[in-house]
Chains A and B, each alone.
Chain A
């Protein structure tokens, strides 16, 4: 049985950590703001050189949704690492807390943090560059929901690697997702990618999301239902794979005694 009070306790531990530490607050606001300023200004410059309408909006929209991908997947693994860094995993997992409860807790936390980040960046993009993310219409909520699913799945896969190989892979919490950055079509269409990379992009729900977002912003075209269906199918597969990897990693960590000596 999943226990609400244990999930609440786990979440509260990380909410307290977020309020107490400068670098967690920094993660939520600082880098997304810097990225928005750089890409927002670049997009204005590119727009002046282009005849394509609203190219600037497509770049800023892509950046905001990529910020969401990055923060959701990062929050899953950083929550675990925070407990490893403070040698708190021992006490945490000596309680009745289950792996599944921990996972639900970090997923819910990532929603809260991502809402803060994306709301802030969206408001900033509107204020500085006049870009309105929600002008895309209800489709944006479908994209955001699916980015959460993919971010959770990817975060689970990252955590499973940390469980399996230890904190020496902690850099993966920030960097592994970057492998998908160039091939997800965040700022440019997939058609410009070299052939083999297009094949990889085709099995990523993110590439369909970013292609769809770009078309919706630039030409106001809603992606075909088949693309939306592919996004949901791929995300379901990735989420199942992510949860399976997380649970297998958890068992492996327990077998190796990683919660006792998280090195």
Chain B
């Protein structure tokens, strides 16, 4: 299968008040078309920084990203037309209704028949009743689901999800997971995924990159990672990674 994403030697350094922080330290990985690729690590490991660079919200200090064979930084706008992101850490416009927010993003991506698309997506995530409510009045879980609708408004070929189920109750989180899995299968959508929920990662991801202090420790399938570390499950691998047991 062809690589749809190729990240090489990606590095991000922040300089603030004379202090230098290396958020990402020269990581490389590739993602195959139709794959669900997880990026795991503790807070501050560089997961969100990596996703933010991949969607053009942040400039890298060094390194390259190829999306669908094209240099992302040279064709950013064209490639972002085929991508989208959902994060638990950003909002839509608070003073607008859910419908109007989604309409703006539908226009941004030139989505055909946006009324039907918005209605379908709201229905898919079980939030049709929120269409005419102010976004700012929604609960965290409702906002998360609206954000997921936003992330699918352009039928992306590549979907980046930054802790997409972080504020959802277990039953809704399960529904969201199965919805994403269904969409990924039916559309051959590629998903890059970060999460702190290990059973979720084991259920969803074909391969996982373990990120620690801005570097990739290992990339493998969840099953192989568990077997390689002689652990009962991925959660145990994650805990040992967080404790720094794999540091050389």
B87 A90 Cβ-Cβ under 8 A: yes
Query: Does B221 make an interface contact (CB < 8 A)?
Result: no
- B77 proximal to A (CB < 8 A): yes
For this complex, into which size category does the number of interface residues on chain A fall?
A: 20 to 34
Complex alpha-carbon distance, A97 and B81, angstroms? 9
CA distance A5 to B103 in the complex (A): 12
Q: Would A94 and B108 count as touching, CB distance under 8 A?
A: no
Residues facing A in B85-107 (CB within 8 A) are 85, 87, 89-96, 100, 103-105, 107
Interchain CB contact under 8 A, A83 and B57: no
Q: In terms of DSSP, what is the predominant structure of the interface of chain B?
A: mixed
- Give chain A residues whose Cβ lies under 8 Å from the Cβ of B95: 16-17, 20-21, 86
Total A-B residue contacts, Cβ distance less than 8 Å: 99
**A83–B76 Cα gap in the complex (Å)?**
21
* Distance of A89 Cα from B147 Cα, bound (Å): 13
In the complex, A94 Cα to B87 Cα: how many Å? Answer: 11
Bound form: Cα–Cα A17–B108 in Å: 17
Collect the chain B residues with CB atoms within 8 Å of residue A236's CB.
Answer: none
Q: Return chain B residues, CB-CB under 8 Å to A255.
A: 58-59
Interface mask (A78-96 → B, CB under 8 Å = 1, otherwise 0):
0000110011111101111
Is B80 in contact with chain A by the CB < 8 A criterion? Answer: yes
Q: A12–B93 Cα gap in the complex (Å)?
A: 12
In the complex, what distance in Å separates the CA atom of A209 from the CA atom of B4? 56
Is A5's CB under 8 angstroms from B110's CB?
yes
B52 at interface by CB-CB < 8 Å: yes
Interface residues of A in 114-141 (CB under 8 A from B): none
Say if the beta carbon of B194 comes within 8 Å of chain A: no
- Looking across the interface, which residue of chain A has its beta carbon closest to that of B135? A86
Instruction: Give B54's nearest chain A residue, CB to CB.
Output: A94
Determine whether the beta carbon of A5 is less than 8 Å from that of B107.
Answer: yes
Instruction: Give residues in B with beta carbon < 8 Å to A.
Output: 14, 48, 52, 55-59, 76-78, 80-81, 84-85, 87, 89-96, 100, 103-105, 107-110, 136, 147, 150
* Known A6-B108, A16-B93, A256-B14; 7 more pairs at CB < 8 Å: A9-B107, A10-B108, A86-B94, A91-B147, A96-B76, A96-B109, A259-B58
